[in-house]
Amino acid sequence: MVKKTLFALVCSALLFPADRNIVFAETDGVTGRDVMVMEDERPDGDDRTSVMKMTLVNKRGSKRVREVSSYSKDYGRDKKSVMVFDRPADVKGTAFLSWEYDDPSREDDKWLYMPAMKKVRRISGASKNEYFMGSDFTYDDMGDRHVDEDTHTLQGEEAVGEQMCWKVESIPVDPDDMYTRKVLWVSKEAYMILKAEYYDKDGLLKVYRVVDFGKEGGFWTVRHSEMENVVRNHKTVMEFSAMRYDTGLGDKLFRVSSIQRGRIH
């Protein structure tokens, strides 16, 4: 995803007040960047929590199911997030902490705690292109990407299911980025990405799809989505529940010392 990557999928589930329809229904002649700014700046509360059931499906159809608790909090235009694996036992206590900065010149900070090793690993450099915990998301995918880290071109409009979408091509400014381009379908009604294609130098690599979404409490909410890696023939299915917003999360959740001590829940 361009901005709303795994953390956002888990934590915010993409929220939009219904009255924003009035603003954007009048926005004709938008550019690709305009669309991505709309998607990027939608409200999602000051903090958010959720539970995600993550199912990993390999090329033989075998499944591994994991349950993850997630917490996220805004600090101005920056964001801190932490994900903790609750099940199964072999990954219980594993935690991923991310501090995401709005300044595109500042690199996000990310840490992974593995309880079996009792050690915090800092994720940096080439490690950002590694896949996270067997999923089809890289560590870099999980960051809160700034709109201006890509150039965006509006390619027209296409329907995804019953939803009319803006179709946007996004090309990374950094020539060393893992992806050479992405193609995104952004709902004109909900202002969320319903489908995304990820390309590298060899062609299509991954496809993201929202399978089920709807309004809950006046907000658009993703309930079920999938990321399919067409090269690995592997899929990550994500089902969301227990989403809460503006609960007043404390700052201690988002410290490296907290994930190392297992003091998240």
Taking the chain (265 residues) in runs of 10, the rounded mean pLDDT of each run is 47 37 51 94 82 96 96 93 94 94 88 91 85 90 84 97 96 93 94 95 97 79 92 96 89 92 67
Q: In this predicted structure, what is the pLDDT of residue 16?
A: 33
Q: In this predicted structure, what is the pLDDT of residue 67?
A: 97
In angstroms, rounded to a whole number, what is the distance separating the alpha carbons of residues 169 and 250? 38
Q: In this predicted structure, what is the pLDDT of residue 217?
A: 67
Q: Which sequence spans correspond to the domains of the chain?
A: 32-261
Number of C-beta neighbours around residue 75 at 10 A:
14
Rounded to 10 degrees, what is the CA torsion of 144, 149, 151, 153? 0
Q: Assign domain 32-261 to its CATH architecture.
A: Clam (2.50)
In angstroms, rounded to a whole number, what is the distance separating the alpha carbons of residues 41 and 176? 26
What's the distance, CA 224 to chain centroid?
13
3-state secondary structure 196-262: EEEEECCEEEEEEEEEEEEEECCEEEEEEEEEEECCCCEEEEEEEEEEEECCCCCHHHHCHHHHHCC
Q: What's phi and psi for 162, nearest 5 deg?
A: -95, 5
In angstroms, rounded to a whole number, what is the distance separating the alpha carbons of residues 33 and 45? 23
